[in-house]
Each structure stands twice: as structure tokens, then as C-alpha cells.
Amino acid sequence: MKTRITELLGIEHPIIQGGMHFVGFAELAAAVSNAGGLGIVTGLTQRTPELLANEIRRCREMTSKPFGVNLTFLPSVTSPDYPGYVRAIVEGGVKVVETAGNNPQQVLPHLHAAGIKVIHKCTSVRHALKAQSIGCDAVSVDGFECGGHPGEDDVPNFILLPRAADELDIPFVASGGMADGRSLVAALALGADGINMGTRFIATKEAPVHENVKKAIVAASELDTRLVMRPLRNTERVLRNAAADRLLEKEKALGANLRFEDIREEVAGVYPKIMQEGTMDAGVWSCGMVAGLIDDIPTVKELVDRIMAEANAIIRERLAGFVTA
């Protein structure tokens, strides 16, 4: 399949694996790139720029195909060493960066000077247009369904994607709720040039996370996610568990008085415990509504091949069959 995104990134299939904290290690990124998509190493999961440089080297040893690095700009008190991470990316010869969170303007000149393509992930048409205006090469449009941070506008992809298509000139991929060939064809029909998946890629053999995480996604239905941290305007879609229930109780009890300190136990430093140790109630962790469409744990290649075969069949048989004239 050839779209503006496969052309821009030099990949075979229009499928990207979004950055994921404590999931996006070299093993997963390389597996996605080897399968013909674009794998992405999650920058901030590596505690220092030196560790990121090492992770990029490891990924390069596992694939000769293009892969990317995610740089998430968090609203944090002590800012990570972004210039150091950018240096590691540039010196590591990475050709694609997925930015997310705040506006990536500060890093764009450095990345572009090194010939790196920048895909900014955002949750509104407003922010997508801003990304286009500052020179991003593409955007990833994350609908309300998505795992992680859906923003505060709550616009689902059936509205958000055609709105983005109406306004944007640069290529964009649909993110949030994408799982299979149907998702890909629907995204293309709504004007996107490909898809970005998070949750679906966690439930694969190569995802370097504890089996309990994969099993929890397979067991979950589309009704099993919750939105937390809305009172802090830092909304996150997570899988419902004891920690999410406790956090929501605190939000209800404290109302507008809620402070980050009140929920520190449920959110701070919990990812290694969940993703690596498999302690599923250690805190809240991002998960999309798309869990309801996930019921197996294939290899990444099986998943990508299946999506492409299904998409081709839908386009050539089901959709072509509706056209009578």
C-alpha cells in the first residue's frame, strides 16, 4: 500500500507503533520496523540521553529498516535533559521523531537540520494546525478513544479525522482505537494516510512487557477503561483496576481541591512495577478502548500482515462490491 505516509517515512505499510512508556524498547520498535511498519523507541523511558543512545544502538542491531524515537514533552517541574536526548537522536542517525505533549518548536530546528522527519502527535485540529504551521512533517491525530492522554476536548475519531482532513495539508495518521484491517480502511476513508497503534502492539509476542499486561488487555472489553486526572487537566485513559477506582474516589472526594500530591501513590513511578513485574494493581496505566477489539497475542509480523491482508480484502472485495455503476 502506498500513501503519503509510506512515502514520507520510507516504509512498506502505513502502520506506526506509537511511543509507549516502559513498552517502547528496542525489541518492540525493531519488530514493528522489521514487519514493514515504523517502530518507535520511547525516549523518556531511558533515564538519561546516554541510555537512549544505547537503546538506539540496540535497535539498529535488530533492524536495518527505519525506526523512530518518541520525545514526550511533559508538564513536569524538573524538565528532562531534552537537548541531550535530541543529541542522542541526531548522533544515533535516527530519521524519524514522534513528538507529543507540548509544542515541539524548541527542538524542530535541530531535528530538521539533521534531516529528521517530525511527526507531532496531538488530540485536536487546533494543535494539528499549529504543528503544521511550525513545520512538522506530519501529525498523528489521537482521538478520544485512545490509550494515554486524549486531551480535554473529547472528540472521537469519526469526527476528528475528517475534520483534520478538511484542514490539514501535511500527511496525518489516525491514532486511537486502531486494531485491524477495518480500522486501517476506515482511517483511510476518513482522510488519514495511515494508522498509529499503541494498545494493540502491547498484546504481541515481542512486546517486552510482563505476560500479565498482555493478558489484562485480552481480557478487557471496550467498557473497561476509565479517564483519570481530569480535574488536573491532564486526563489519561487507563485500564480500570483497584488503583484507578481508588484514584477516582479521591477525585470525587476532593473535587476542585485535588492536587497531584493526593494521587502520587497511584501514578508516580508505577510503570516499571506494572510493565516489568506484572503487579497489575500497582497503579494506573494507559490503555485504549480498543482493548475490546483485542483477543489474541500474535507476533508483530502476524499482526501487521493480517491487518494488511484484511485491509486489501475489504477494499478490493467488500467495498468494490458495493459500487454498482
Is 6 among the residues that bind ligand FMN (CB under 6 A)? no
Cβ neighbours around 77 below 10 Å, total: 6
The correct pick among 32, 89, 100, 229 for binding ligand FMN (CB under 6 A) is 100
Of 258, 255, 228, the C-alpha closest to 240 is 228
Least separation in angstroms between residue 151's CB and ligand FMN is 11
- Joined grid coordinates for residue 71: 520525545
Nearer to ligand FMN, 236 or 251 (CB): 236
One-letter amino acid of 305: D
Is 283 among the residues that bind ligand FMN (CB under 6 A)? no
Element (H, E) at 249: helix 242-254
Is 70 among the residues that bind ligand FMN (CB under 6 A)? yes
Q: Which stretch, 107-115, 181-189, 194-202, 297-305, contacts ligand FMN (CB under 6 A)?
A: 194-202
Q: How far is the C-alpha of 79 from the C-alpha of 316, rounded, in Å?
A: 49
Nearer to ligand FMN, 232 or 293 (CB): 293
Pair 96, 9: CB distance under 8 Å: yes
Q: How far is the C-alpha of 151 from the C-alpha of 146, rounded, in Å?
A: 10
DSSP characters for 140-201? EEE-TT-SB---SS---HHHHHHHHHHH--S-EEEESS--SHHHHHHHHHTT-S-EEESHHH
Q: Which stretch, 126-134, 144-152, 166-174, 218-226, contacts ligand FMN (CB under 6 A)?
A: 144-152
State the number of binding residues for ligand FMN (CB under 6 A).
Answer: 29
Least separation in angstroms between residue 223's CB and ligand FMN is 15
The correct pick among 151, 177, 194, 283 for binding ligand FMN (CB under 6 A) is 177
Site for ligand FMN in 16-45 (CB under 6 A): 18-21, 23, 42
Is 46 among the residues that bind ligand FMN (CB under 6 A)? no
224 CB-side CA count, 13 A = 20
The correct pick among 14, 104, 148, 194 for binding ligand FMN (CB under 6 A) is 148
Least separation in angstroms between residue 168's CB and ligand FMN is 18
Least separation in angstroms between residue 170's CB and ligand FMN is 18
Nearer to ligand FMN, 19 or 36 (CB): 19
Is 120 among the residues that bind ligand FMN (CB under 6 A)? no
- Joined grid coordinates for residue 281: 494493581
Q: Phi, psi (5° rounding) for residue 172?
A: -145, 155
For the stretch 142-171, what's the b/e string if a residue is b when 16 or more beta carbons lie within 10 angstroms of its beta carbon? Answer: bbbbbbbbbbeeebebeebbebbbeebebb
The correct pick among 175, 183, 204, 235 for binding ligand FMN (CB under 6 A) is 175
Is 199 among the residues that bind ligand FMN (CB under 6 A)? yes
Residue numbers at the binding site for ligand FMN (CB under 6 A): 18-21, 23, 42, 70, 72, 100, 121, 142, 145-148, 175-178, 196-200, 285-288, 290
